[in-house]
Structure 1
Amino acid sequence: MTLQATPPPKTVVVLGVAYGGIGALATLAKLLPAGWRVLGIERSTHAHHVYVFPRFSVLPEHAPRGLVPLVNAVYGGRVTPGPDIKPGKGAADASPGTEHELVRGVVTALTPTSVTFALPIDGEFPADLSGAEKRTVEFEYAVYALGGVLSAPSDAWGGGPGRDVVPGRGSKPGAVGFIRAIHDKIAAARRVLVVGGGALGIQFASDIKAANPEKEVTLLHSRARLLPLYHEELHAAVVKRLAELGVRTVLGERVLQWPERPLDVDGSDKTVTTDKGTTLTADLVLVCTGSKPNTALFEGVDAGAILPNGLIHVEPTLQVAGRRHWFAIGDSADSEGIFAGHESYAQGSCAARNVLRLIETREGREATPLEEYKAGPARIKVSLGINEYVVGTADGATSHDDGPADIHAKLMWSLFGVEDKGDDE
């Protein structure tokens, strides 16, 4: 009697395991049929809860709470209810070799059916990865969840033009060290200029001034109205609170000339010149002008799917246009909805459910039609000092004064299946 070899598992890859990737990874790990596995690839040991980074740059004792352990992400991550999916027979007791996995690596190259990633060198990722061990994995389906390149004051990775690589990047000590380094720069500066009036810039300016009333803090924004996606009451509430704190607000002026190294606090004046001829001088300039889509790697799959704005063009099902086995979510995709963590998570879950439907069809089982992603109502919460915050929607805005110093950062941990056992995890 000849024993037949067990065929190798078929693979779904999830590239990036943060707000969006965890939704895809957890759903697939729970519902993939036998003979399939999900492989998550994430460069950091801990997910970066970047929405609390401005606060923790002012109150660095809370910094560890903004780094979410990924140890339980595969089997413990939260799975939200969705349209019925029928797991294949044997999904609960997969064969050896089909175990789902999350590996730490930096994606270096993509093709339509493969991903190559570099492994860490002595626990971290230096600027030069030429000496790193690399692995290539073939896959049947992929979810692109690599997000965006963050504004420098919140980017605990670094590198790129005018940016130093963050020491220990990709590790929790490296990220905590980065947050503390931003705090030290803020502490050393007497005058701080925040450029960019999105939620990130508003939170930096208000938190810095609330915690350091003696500092000169200016918020500069290119538009006359803050957060225009929401009701005008939100703009009014933010401007009012900034004035109460003593933050100088300059609206409707765009930067034409930047200092060479805005994050350096070295005793020299950092000067910014606007299109209205205004000159602003500070010891520290925090550039909070938004993230940029992290989509350059997708050129190896289909450069034509990348729009002029850098986003990957997706169908309502979150499938990449012209690449039906690829999905793109979050800040990398031109999907419906705002760029926010909760939308990314919902998109990751939706993409995973659609992968499962495609597998059902592929394996000859009755499948439901693919799901079209529908964004929820636009809603935002913006901190305006240590305890104050405002919640804005399309219909209005409400102000509050009961926010905790750590902004309930650890509520995010449960999304990744982590029980709160302290800040040292």
Structure 2
Amino acid sequence: MSALIGCGGVQPQRVLSFSPFLCTHESIFLTSKQTVYDPERPQNQAPYANMRNVIILGGSYSGARAAELFSQTLPITHRVILIDRQSNYLVNACPCGVRNLYLFPRFGVVPNHANKVFIPYTGVMASPGRSSSAPSSKSSSSTTEETESSRSGDSSDEGGPTRAQCVFIRASVTEVGPGFVEIDRDLDEETLGASVSDDDDIISSGREKWRRRRLNWDYLIYALGSTLPAPLLSPARTKVEGVRFLQAQQERIALSKSVLIVGGGALGIQYATDIADLYNNPANAALRPENSVEGKKKITLVHSRSRFLPLYKQEVHDEVTRRLDELGVDVIMGERLALPELEDDVSKQPLTSRRVESKTGVLEYDLLLRCTGQKPNSQLLKKSFPDAINSQGYVEVRPTLQLDSCNTKYADRMYVIGDVANTHAIRAGHIGWNQAGIVVQNIMSAVLCGHREPSLITYEPSPPQIKVTLGLRNSVSELLPSMGASETQVKMHSDGAVDAGWIHTWTRMGVDAQDPTI
């Protein structure tokens, strides 16, 4: 990546690219000699030992994209730290970042592909397409779970590092405060650095646990997105657990005779059409799991609105309606059902028939898929930055994607991207992906400009775009035909791959796709 950076009227300069490496041996936690960031402290007085941290919270599309770009651009005075509770990158969109060609629900229906959903994080910080030269893609189930590698950066001929250091920490964040974040687990001494045990004052005062869990930041990117709908809400934190979750969902769907899907957004549409195409289309019989019940499944999709995907052109709604009818899915529009409390985990729902009243009569089902209920994950900002959270729970941002809070001492160095940010754009993978590029350019501008006022760029939402699957090989899209175009075009497709092109995704993320079990 390269970007044009300008400082207060100075001619913009192009930022050089740096190759990514991961490290574990530098101390990244607060010590008695390393206080939280003070924006008034001169940047040029920071010694190399007290490296400045750019922390990214959340490793989905927007956060992972920011980490990838920073790993190529940050100078050696800074380090990028990516924190996510998952051990592997979760693919839930297509390779180009356009939302709703979901792999997660596709492989929660179709067997023998679950491993392909989870990509090792080692490749996320690699340059595009560098699958052959990317760092080793090892499982993070080793004793040092928080990192994927222990390399601290490339070296120059003089023996010193020349490339920015990158760290991945597998943990949940428990607090975001002015200048620090706190995680839910300790890191081992090797990761913290040998200086940890030398500070007798902290150890004897009982603050050792606090110190081992708090990381200071000079810049923070909040990319924690929103909660997933029930069928995607997995408790899994490792690839093995995630694969088991998907396999259990496949088996439960296979045993069902009547499926009720509530929510006619892209997720509900994909579940309805994938299940119908797999189980009710004789041409796909060979793809079904061995334990599936005989006969066609009754599939009902209930949508609270009068139109599918109303942000998009009428042709999108028309094609969705046509395919649902072609696949034999019963559709009920403009109704909200009074549903009973049920286990959100699809695989744990009892295999018994249930009934619910609708305006068309009584609906019988033995499996319920709730494809509604996403909520922004903004709770970590409420304590220190309550004025930045709006009434719907989304985080207010400035046009530059900086946190919109009166606490500007820290908000100026905090950025919010992805689904959790109130940018007036649609909430989709490609939106967060593009926002990451804006934020990286703005932070790089601040880093390189020092005391001079950086020239920050603003984010301008693009027209809503989408690609949603309508069965195992069919889809409809509304996309801009080119970079400079202003009018979207609707197209129908019938030549999609059942595996949704997972190899391209892995390669794009810098990971060798020869063994999807890694």
Q: Which deviates the most, 214-223 or 111-120?
A: 111-120
Residues 259-278 of structure 1 mapped to structure 2, 5 A cutoff: 259-261=341-343, 263=346, 264-274=348-358, 276=359, 278=361
- Residue matched to 1:54: 105
CA deviations 1:351-380 (Å, max 9, x no partner) are: 12111112233x23574x211112333221
Which has a greater percent of strand?
Answer: 1
Say yes or no: does 1:135 pair with 2:213.
Answer: yes
Residues 348/250 of structure 1: CA separation in 2 closer, same or farther (3 Å cut): same
Give the CA deviation at 1:422.
Answer: 2.4
Residues 95-114 of structure 1 mapped to structure 2, 5 A cutoff: 95=161, 99-114=165-180
Which of 19, 22, 44 is residue 61 of structure 2 equivalent to?
19
Residues 257/155 of structure 1: CA separation in 2 closer, same or farther (3 Å cut): closer
Residues 214-225 of structure 1 mapped to structure 2, 5 A cutoff: 214-225=296-307
**Max radius of gyration: which structure?**
2
Which of 498, 503, 516 is residue 410 of structure 1 equivalent to?
503
Say yes or no: does 1:383 pair with 2:465.
Answer: no
Give the CA deviation at 1:421.
Answer: 2.1
CA deviations 1:235-255 (Å, max 9, x no partner) are: 111111111110000010012
CA contact (8 A) 1:11 1:141 kept: yes
- Residue matched to 1:204: 271
Q: Which amino acid aligns with 1:220?
A: V
CA distance in 2, matches of 1:299, 1:194: 34
CA contact (8 A) 2:126 2:509 kept: no
| SS class of match (1:254) | coil
| SS class of match (2:183) | strand
- Residue matched to 1:399: 492
Say yes or no: does 1:420 pair with 2:486.
Answer: no
CA contact (8 A) 2:74 2:164 kept: no
Residues 370/414 of structure 1: CA separation in 2 closer, same or farther (3 Å cut): farther
Q: Which amino acid aligns with 1:422?
A: D
Q: Which runs of 5+ in 2 are unaligned?
A: 1-45, 93-101, 131-152, 188-208, 281-295, 406-410, 480-486
Q: What is the TM-score when the length of structure 1 is the normalising length? A: 0.84
CA contact (8 A) 1:41 1:103 kept: yes
Give the CA deviation at 1:138.
Answer: 0.8
- Residue matched to 2:387: 304
| SS class of match (2:386) | helix
- Residue matched to 1:40: 82
CA distance in 2, matches of 1:132, 1:408: 44
Say yes or no: does 1:285 pair with 2:336.
Answer: no
CA contact (8 A) 1:384 1:390 kept: yes
CA distance in 1, matches of 2:353, 2:392: 33
CA distance in 1, matches of 2:117, 2:170: 19
- Residue matched to 2:114: 63
Residues 144/78 of structure 1: CA separation in 2 closer, same or farther (3 Å cut): farther
Q: Which amino acid aligns with 2:233?
A: D
CA deviations 1:193-251 (Å, max 9, x no partner) are: 11111111000000001111100001000001000010011111111111111000001
CA distance in 2, matches of 1:423, 1:95: 33
Give the CA deviation at 1:78.
Answer: 7.6
Q: Which runs of 5+ in 1 are unaligned?
A: 80-89, 122-130, 158-168
- Residue matched to 2:320: 238
CA distance in 1, matches of 2:476, 2:399: 31
- Residue matched to 1:30: 72
CA distance in 2, matches of 1:77, 1:142: 24
CA distance in 1, matches of 2:317, 2:387: 38
RMSD of Structure 2 on Structure 1 (CA): 2.8
Give the CA deviation at 1:412.
Answer: 2.2
CA deviations 1:1-37 (Å, max 9, x no partner) are: xxx9744101110001110012211222221223111
Give the CA deviation at 1:273.
Answer: 4.1
Give the CA deviation at 1:329.
Answer: 0.5
| SS class of match (1:52) | coil
| SS class of match (1:11) | strand
Q: What is the TM-score when the length of structure 2 is the normalising length? A: 0.70
CA contact (8 A) 2:399 2:459 kept: yes
| SS class of match (2:338) | strand
Give the CA deviation at 1:118.
Answer: 2.4
Give the CA deviation at 1:259.
Answer: 3.9
Residues 395/22 of structure 1: CA separation in 2 closer, same or farther (3 Å cut): closer
CA contact (8 A) 1:74 1:101 kept: no
| SS class of match (2:448) | helix
CA deviations 1:317-340 (Å, max 9, x no partner) are: 111102211111101101142211
CA deviations 1:65-92 (Å, max 9, x no partner) are: 111111132344689xxxxxxxxxx999
Q: Which amino acid aligns with 1:271?
A: R
| SS class of match (1:331) | coil
Give the CA deviation at 1:342.
Answer: 1.4
CA contact (8 A) 2:229 2:372 kept: yes
Q: How many residue pairs were aligned?
A: 389
CA contact (8 A) 1:42 1:106 kept: yes
- Residue matched to 2:399: 316
CA deviations 1:94-138 (Å, max 9, x no partner) are: 7599622111111111112111112499xxxxxxxxx99962101
CA distance in 1, matches of 2:395, 2:111: 35
Give the CA deviation at 1:277.
Answer: 7.7
CA distance in 1, matches of 2:343, 2:426: 31
Q: Which amino acid aligns with 2:394?
A: L
Residues 396/120 of structure 1: CA separation in 2 closer, same or farther (3 Å cut): farther
CA distance in 2, matches of 1:370, 1:13: 19
